[in-house]
Amino acid sequence: SVVMFGIIFLWTPPHFWALALRLKDDYGQAGVPMLPVVAGPATTRTQILIYSVVLAVSSFALLPAANLGLIYGISAALLGILFVYRAWELWKRPAEVSPIELYKYSLLYLALLFVAMGVDAAIL
């Protein structure tokens, strides 16, 4: 359960910062100190990329902690690679890549990661 908490903890910043990039002006006008408002979009994209890499790597901690196997391991690898790739694309090509795409994928990522965990645990 501690590892699951860690995954959600690491997932939260890239998820909400991607949305905050899209809504930067609204947050600024409302006086809400979200990272894109206080540090700028470039710093936010860098932080999203860093957290995405750490999240993807950390997701493998569930393998031994929850006694999971191949289904979860392969799912975590594929989902994590895609998460990092999407974060990298947002970092590298911010004019062409919408942060909302990463935001939406982050929802799918977490749901599928936990489904993979449940399926793997049920099969073992």
In this prediction, residue 1 carries a pLDDT of: 78
Residue 66 banded pLDDT, cuts 50, 70, 90: confident
**What average pLDDT does range 52-69 have in this prediction?**
94
Domain 2-123 CATH class label: mainly alpha
- Summarised one tens digit per residue, pLDDT across range 2-35 is 999 999 999 999 999 999 999 999 999 999 999 9
Report whether pLDDT(43) > 80.
yes
Mean pLDDT confidence for 85-111 = 98
Structural domain boundaries of the chain? 2-123
Average pLDDT over the chain reads: 96
- Using alpha carbons only, how large is the chain's radius of gyration in Å? 15
Q: List the structure tokens of 107.
A: 């929802």
pTM score, whole prediction? 0.94
Element (H, E) at 7: helix 2-22
Q: What is the average per-residue pLDDT within 62-66?
A: 88
Nearest alpha carbon to residue 36 among 93, 99, 108: 99
Determine contact, residues 110/9, Cβ cutoff 8 Å: no
